[in-house]
Chains A and B, each alone.
Chain A
């Protein structure tokens, strides 16, 4: 059964290229078949999770590492693989603009499947070059999805996609330079093999390679300072694409950086750099979100700040850091896409939000729920996430980081509460506004259900995350399994 894991990237990739042909026969068929395939793959991942309780390694083509391509399938990889399919299903482009041609619609569906294939590959890969290949595939898919945003005035989406392409291309150059430096120092790109030889990278050249990789993969991870593309790109694309990029794609980019940190660069300098960039991201993100006059822009900057928290969490060494980082990342993965869905009808100026809660009371209530969780109000999951983060930072005596997290929480509360207050304002008569689409409300409700489930089952979920974090930092097991011929 473990060989089936290859289907997680092979099937969406194949479907992405077959979809235009299917679409010529029937567009409705192409619109339905892809989500069914994603659903089947999500169920398959769950079955693999239940059937294979131990970590296993898949050597593609039976070429044993470090020479061959390796898929390292632990609980963390399966969790992210499931998240890829589940989130894509929730954010699937079910509806299109009236003036969009059939070709454009098909292109969007194909690009989404391409994004899924690349994302699944990234969550499973066990060598750094394969990660880079899937990362580039992901980049291509996301350029196309942003450019297909079709936002007025005409050309906005193309301009945003071009800006993203330029920054991402620069990032790719950095990443490739970093990979080349690593290969030059060690002669290998297999992560387990690199972990064996990490002493060879414990020098200025090795650390420069880490910086290049950090900046390179950090583009999609919304890492400061390579995140300036984010607000324009999210405003220019559809909210579903924005939610997918902010919620899912950014986490996969973070996953690559964390694999490098845990396996290859356990030294303090690497963690300090991550901490510094995380703090900068939080400060810039929250203050920019507070100044934003548009809800989508506000959510974009808020996403940057939340990713900053993710990096701060992962800068904590050991299992504590992995657990805190995973908690922050997964919380953001659930909350931010839902908030972008809510912004679908409310994405304009904040001044125009007054009284809008009357037209979509469910979405307004969900916005309150997600906002409270993001701020960290108990008993919602956001509180436990912040508690884990602050406990870990306190153990490391990272007082500056603690102060930043706490002060920025106050800033975040201020701008989120202003939006909510405006939504429920009953002082001004607003013209009738259209309600949220059923598909958006349904997806947001499911994400809210997940949030509430975690609130109620925080003990069970916490225990499961603890075990995943423990496995993820077990470097010796990683090396033994990957280089020892698999399980």
Chain B
């Protein structure tokens, strides 16, 4: 297991542990520490080199894999950093007040954890298929955070979901078209194929 796999595993573990531990102050502090652990793991990854995950799948001749490059590293830093700060803020007085006002702490922290994990999946995607998987997971994990505010936010979440799925389907149609034209979904394979999508000269 390399650093990228460790990072993704820790992120997923944080989201899953939030289901059990988010209701107590100690549990919320633990979750905040796990975001700090993710940052530590991230700093162990050298952004100059590409890190390829050891986990990959081959489904119907499509290779799904994940990899981290410099851009992935930078945005992962923003993502995990934001998750850490939000978790820290929500762990203390705010968390206690939120819970006493009948707020769903578990939903808040699980949603946050899943958001961070799915964004990391998106940032480390190595092909169009894994990109789409990350993209959809980001959309749906965001819904968990949107519904926290009550009836009005739930109505807004319905609109968001509709737009998000419409966007997702547009992305999927683009992916399908690229696959039809190029026969591949891997970034590197697509970029090396001599198949310009547009002849328009601006």
Q: State the CA gap A387–B133 with chains docked (Å).
A: 12
Q: State the CA gap A378–B132 with chains docked (Å).
A: 8
Q: Which of A378, A427, A458 is the most central at the interface, judged by chain B CB atoms within 10 Å of its CB?
A: A378
Interface size class of A (residues with CB under 8 A): 20 to 34
The yes or no answer to B151 lying at the interface (CB within 8 A) is yes
The dominant DSSP class at the B interface is: helix
Which of A17-25, A58-66, A208-216, A390-398 is near enough to bind chain B? A390-398
Inter-subunit contact A406/B172 (CB<8 Å): yes
The yes or no answer to A196 lying at the interface (CB within 8 A) is no
A-B pair number, CB within 8 angstroms: 71
Given contacts A378-B136, A391-B179, contact A410 B60 (CB under 8 A): no
Min CB distance, B103 to chain A, in Å? 11
What 8 A-B pairs have minimum CB-CB distances, sorted nearest first? A406-B169, A378-B133, A394-B180, A413-B165, A394-B176, A390-B176, A410-B166, A427-B151
Min CB distance, B167 to chain A, in Å? 10
With both beta carbons as reference points, the residue of chain A lying nearest to B165 in the complex is identified as A413
Given contacts A378-B136, A390-B176, contact A413 B162 (CB under 8 A): yes
Q: State the CA gap A462–B60 with chains docked (Å).
A: 7
With both beta carbons as reference points, the residue of chain A lying nearest to B181 in the complex is identified as A394
The yes or no answer to A312 lying at the interface (CB within 8 A) is no
Q: Which of B58, B147, B162, B176 contacts A391 (CB 8 A)?
A: B176
Q: State the CA gap A388–B57 with chains docked (Å).
A: 16
Min CB distance, A326 to chain B, in Å? 13
Inter-subunit contact B161/A417 (CB<8 Å): yes
Besides A378-B137, A391-B176, A425-B151, 7 more A-B contacts (Cβ < 8 Å) are A375-B165, A387-B172, A409-B169, A410-B162, A410-B166, A425-B154, A459-B57
With both beta carbons as reference points, the residue of chain B lying nearest to A413 in the complex is identified as B165
Chain B 128-157, CB-CB to A under 8 Å as 1, else 0, gives 010011001100100000010011001001
Residues of chain B within 8 A (CB-CB) of A425 are 151, 154
The yes or no answer to B6 lying at the interface (CB within 8 A) is no
Residues of chain A within 8 A (CB-CB) of B179 are 391, 394
Q: State the CA gap A379–B117 with chains docked (Å).
A: 14
Inter-subunit contact B161/A459 (CB<8 Å): no
Q: State the CA gap A186–B173 with chains docked (Å).
A: 44
The yes or no answer to B59 lying at the interface (CB within 8 A) is yes
The yes or no answer to A402 lying at the interface (CB within 8 A) is yes
5 contacts between A and B (CB under 8 A): A384-B59, A410-B162, A417-B161, A424-B147, A427-B150
A residues lining the B interface (CB < 8 Å): 372, 375, 377-379, 383-384, 386-388, 390-391, 394-395, 402, 406-407, 409-410, 413-414, 417-418, 421, 424-425, 427, 458-459, 462, 466
Residues of chain A within 8 A (CB-CB) of B129 are 387
Given contacts A375-B165, A402-B176, contact A414 B158 (CB under 8 A): yes
The yes or no answer to B85 lying at the interface (CB within 8 A) is no
Q: State the CA gap A379–B179 with chains docked (Å).
A: 19
> Could you tell me which residues of chain B, from 85 to 140, have a CB within 8 Å of some CB in chain A?
129, 132-133, 136-137, 140
Q: State the CA gap A458–B59 with chains docked (Å).
A: 7
The yes or no answer to B71 lying at the interface (CB within 8 A) is no
Residues of chain A within 8 A (CB-CB) of B177 are 394
Inter-subunit contact A462/B59 (CB<8 Å): yes
Residues of chain B within 8 A (CB-CB) of A375 are 165
Chain B 154-192, CB-CB to A under 8 Å as 1, else 0, gives 100110011001100110110011011000000000000
Min CB distance, B150 to chain A, in Å? 7
Q: State the CA gap A462–B58 with chains docked (Å).
A: 10
Q: State the CA gap A375–B165 with chains docked (Å).
A: 9
Inter-subunit contact B140/A406 (CB<8 Å): no
Inter-subunit contact A395/B180 (CB<8 Å): yes
Residues of chain B within 8 A (CB-CB) of A424 are 147, 154
Given contacts A421-B154, A424-B147, A462-B59, contact A409 B137 (CB under 8 A): no
With both beta carbons as reference points, the residue of chain A lying nearest to B60 in the complex is identified as A462
Inter-subunit contact A409/B165 (CB<8 Å): yes
Min CB distance, A343 to chain B, in Å? 20
Inter-subunit contact A414/B161 (CB<8 Å): yes
Q: State the CA gap A390–B180 with chains docked (Å).
A: 10
Min CB distance, B190 to chain A, in Å? 15
Residues of chain A within 8 A (CB-CB) of B133 are 378-379, 383
Min CB distance, B11 to chain A, in Å? 16
Inter-subunit contact B157/A421 (CB<8 Å): yes
Min CB distance, A111 to chain B, in Å? 40
Inter-subunit contact A459/B158 (CB<8 Å): no
With both beta carbons as reference points, the residue of chain A lying nearest to B58 in the complex is identified as A459
Min CB distance, B175 to chain A, in Å? 9
